[in-house]
């Protein structure tokens, strides 16, 4: 069984919902909405698996970001401008790592949408899709974007009832930094942390 066999199987699965309704226009919108749900499911599954596999590095990066931030704020309150600048640079670097790590994971959830767009082009390129009850017509890309965004919103609520995704949401909450961005008192010292003077009463 070659790649063509699996492509044909995938095509049969994806096109089936488009034929469920007698009205072709309604059928296209229903089929595209279900296509959006498939994209949402695969994308969220990809992001969840990536989170589970990389949970320790993610936790370390986020923890380091918060720790450096706390250190720089304590140095600033103590009036140590030189220490503040040095540690603030490290905090910015840690924040950059956390930001791009989260951005990469978020982008990883979008790959099914690009495959869906390629499939739609093969199936519906050049067609104008009528809007039911309105009479206007749109291309397949704007129609897919609307249905995809709608399916993402709906799936974001449905996934809280799915055991695997419920556990993933709990994992995401557990990945919060160990040291919160709280400046009322110093966090527990760690051996690798530099000693920073703290102003009396801070």
Span 64-102, pLDDT tens digits? 777 777 877 887 788 777 877 787 777 777 777 777 777
The dihedral formed by the CA atoms of 17, 20, 164 and 53, expressed in degrees to the nearest 10: 0
Nearest to 178 by CA among 68, 50, 72: 68
Domain ranges of the chain: 3-174
Please say whether the beta carbons of 98 and 63 come within 8 A.
no
- Tell me how crowded residue 192 is: count the other CB atoms within 10 A of its CB: 6
Give 172's contacts (C-beta < 8 A, 6+ positions apart): 51
- How is residue 27 annotated by DSSP? H
DSSP 125-163: TTPPEEPTTT--EE-HHHHHHHHHHHHHHHHHHHGGGSH
pLDDT one-digit tens code per residue, 140-194: 999 999 999 999 999 989 888 889 888 888 887 776 554 444 433 444 444 444 4
> How far is it, in rounded angstroms, from Cα 125 to Cα 158?
32
Please say whether the beta carbons of 47 and 165 come within 8 A.
no
Tell me the whole-structure pTM to 2 decimals. 0.73
């Amino acid at each position: 069984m070659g790649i063509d066999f699996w492509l044909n199987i995938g095509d049969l699965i994806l096109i089936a919902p488009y034929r469920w309704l007698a009205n072709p226009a309604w059928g296209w919108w229903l089929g595209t909405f279900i296509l959006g749900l498939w994209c949402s499911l695969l994308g969220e599954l990809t992001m969840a698996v990536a989170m589970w596999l990389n949970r320790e590095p993610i936790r370390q990066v986020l923890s380091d970001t918060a720790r450096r931030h706390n250190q720089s704020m304590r140095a600033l309150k103590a009036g140590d401008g030189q220490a503040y600048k040095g540690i603030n640079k490290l905090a910015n670097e840690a924040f950059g790592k956390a930001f791009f790590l989260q951005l990469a994971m978020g982008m990883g959830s979008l790959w099914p949408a690009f495959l869906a767009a390629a499939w739609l082009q093969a199936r519906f390129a050049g067609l104008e899709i009528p809007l039911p009850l309105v009479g206007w017509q749109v291309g397949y890309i704007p129609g897919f974007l609307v249905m995809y965004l709608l399916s993402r919103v709906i799936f974001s609520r449905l996934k809280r009832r799915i055991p695997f995704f419920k556990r993933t949401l709990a994992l995401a909450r557990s990945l919060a930094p160990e040291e919160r961005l709280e400046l009322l008192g110093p966090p527990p010292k760690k051996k690798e942390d530099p000693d920073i003077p703290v102003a009396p009463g801070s």
